[in-house]
Amino acid sequence: MAELVTTAAKLDAWRATIPGKRVAFVPTMGALHEGHIRLVERAAEIADAVVVSIFVNPTQFGKGEDFERYPRTLENDLALLGDLADVVYAPSVEDVYPPDDPPVVTSAGPAGAGFEGASRPGHFDGMLTVVNRLFDIVRPDVAVFGQKDAQQVFLVKRLAAERGSPEIDVVRTVREDDGLARSSRNRYLSAEDRAAAVAVPAAVWAVARDIEAGVSAALASGRAVLASQPLARLDYLELVSPTDFTPVGEDFHGVATLVVAARFGNTRLLDTETITVP
């Protein structure tokens, strides 16, 4: 079983026992599922020791969002992790954001203003602020993130480059048997909405299938899939450049990132895929 620590001081004490070891870090907000476990398994493959954080970060939830109802399942999370991680860091808000040492707010800038940033103003500033703080506390050599949150991955990679560390390793989206991307928020879906949500991966596959017809045609195919599902409310479906996270034009050729967000009931689902535009 992973060692549970709840303060940065105790994490420092553990860190002092493994000098010279390569440390991998998997930051999470808990409510772990098989997608998270794949990240932890990947971390164990590329490092000597693994730290998983479980911290529901208040600064990345906007007004009216689900901070209070976000699932907190530490006991179950520890059981699911077993001995896959060496340490689980599950701090209080005060440990991450000490009143006498407030963190520097890290701005996402223009790259964080669109897509999820447009729907959740301030979300990415809060996310980057806590990730920056956790990097300072954990001091990892490499951090592992999931592909599904593509805009987050883009911004974290930029942050790590600006800091000079850590390395960022990205793991492909883990999916349910019917293709739906695994997410802690899937548990909020009603049975009817869960059945309808397969339209999201179907839209992703439609874009990949039709990309040879051009960017506009492929995106139209993906949007048509979601438009045909009456329970789906599409927020966006776009192909973006991996260099600046802005939508690509019809004249784009190369590797692009497909990003999708749709709501089913009160639950917002994300998906992504890497698409090569011929």
Closest to 53 measured CA to CA, from 88, 13, 9: 88
Q: Phi, psi (5° rounding) for residue 172?
A: -55, 150
Cβ-based neighbours of 143, under 8 Å, separated by 6 or more: 24, 25, 26, 27, 135, 156, 160, 166, 167, 168, 169
Q: Any bridge partners for residue 49, and if so which?
A: 23
Give the dihedral sign, CA 205/267/172/250.
positive
HSE-CB at 50 with a 13 A cutoff on CA atoms is 23
Alpha-carbon distance of 210 to 221, in angstroms, equals 7
Reply yes or no on whether 36 is catalytic.
Answer: yes
Residue tagged active-site, from 33, 36, 123, 253: 36
Tokens 């301030």 -> residue: 122
Instruction: Identify the helix (H) or strand (E) that includes residue 255.
Output: strand 254-264
Query: What is the Cα 148 distance to its own chain's centre?
Result: 6
Residue 202 vs residues 36, 109, 181: alpha-carbon distances, Å: 23, 32, 11
Tokens 């970060």 -> residue: 57
Q: What are the structure tokens assigned to 101, written together?
A: 């040492």
Q: Catalytic residue numbers?
A: 36
